[in-house]
């Protein structure tokens, strides 16, 4: 199945809008972070936001089509992190991946390098977890510039019940069935981290 230019542009428009939202929250300072959406599964194709742009100023064209290794299919310069987006999509079945640099995720990753434990919070339902009596861990993995290494760590550490991982000294990876669900998961995880940050 071939991805058409129209499909890519459509995904680009959605990702641009989602990026602007996250940039407005201060979660994509500088040119940090990137978002992706799955366009096909066989072969795996994703639209990933282009590298080096201000994430509050993307247009529907600022998007690159990549394959399951995160390599550009039709030209353009994807972020090096496109490889990790593709791997998360393959591993989890998610159709959308959000990567943002939030202060709370990096601060909490430093305080709790072994994973951040949440319990008895209604907000956990927003990531499909029980609100009562159950410890839920948001995994924290060590950072790397090697996306293969980072992907292995993510695969080893992830908790299937939790659609997110903190990369220490780096930021958040969050995923969902759609860009909107990935947005909601991101907001919920960041809320949990901001709460945890008040508790010291």
Q: Which residue ranges make up the annotated binding site for Zn(2+)?
A: 99, 101
Residues in binding contact with a copy of itself, number by CB under 8 A: 39
Binding piece for a copy of itself, criterion CB under 8 A, among 38-46, 60-68, 71-79, 190-198: 190-198
For the chain, the residue count is 200
Which DSSP symbol is given to 141?
E
Q: Using CB under 8 A, which residues numbered 10 to 49 contact a copy of itself?
A: 25-26, 29-32
C-alpha span between 44 and 87 (Å, rounded)? 10
Q: Of residues 69, 71, 117, 120, which one binds a copy of itself by CB under 8 A?
A: 120
Q: Given the structure tokens 């353009």, which residue do they identify?
A: 76
Q: 159: helix, coil or strand?
A: coil
112 contributes a contact to a copy of itself by CB under 8 A: no
Euclidean distance between the first and the last CA atom of the chain, given in angstroms as a whole number: 52
| CA nearest neighbour of 55 among 18, 106, 86, 105 | 18
User: H or E element: which one contains 34?
Assistant: strand 34-41
Binding piece for a copy of itself, criterion CB under 8 A, among 11-19, 40-48, 60-68, 188-196: 188-196
Question: What residues make contact with a copy of itself under the rule CB under 8 A?
Answer: 25-26, 29-32, 54, 101, 103, 106-107, 110, 120-123, 126, 131-132, 143, 145, 167-171, 180, 183-185, 187-188, 190-191, 194-195, 197-199
């Amino acid at each position: 199945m071939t991805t058409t230019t129209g499909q890519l542009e459509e995904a680009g428009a959605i990702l641009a809008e989602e990026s602007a939202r996250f940039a407005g929250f201060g979660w994509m300072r500088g040119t940090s972070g990137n978002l992706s959406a799955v366009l096909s599964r066989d072969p795996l194709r994703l639209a990933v936001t282009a590298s080096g742009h201000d994430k509050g100023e993307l247009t529907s064209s600022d998007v690159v089509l990549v394959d399951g290794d995160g390599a550009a299919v039709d030209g353009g310069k994807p972020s090096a992190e496109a490889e990790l987006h593709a791997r998360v999509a393959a591993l989890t079945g998610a159709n959308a991946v959000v990567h943002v640099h939030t202060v709370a995720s990096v601060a909490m990753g430093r305080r709790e390098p072994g994973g951040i434990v949440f319990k008895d919070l209604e907000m956990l339902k927003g990531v499909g977890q029980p609100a009562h009596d159950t410890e839920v861990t948001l995994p924290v993995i060590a950072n790397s510039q090697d996306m293969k290494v980072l992907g292995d760590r993510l695969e080893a550490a992830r908790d299937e019940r939790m659609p997110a991982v903190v990369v220490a000294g780096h930021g958040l990876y969050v995923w969902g069935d759609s860009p909107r669900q990935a947005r909601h998961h991101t907001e919920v995880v960041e809320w949990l981290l901001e709460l945890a940050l008040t508790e010291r």
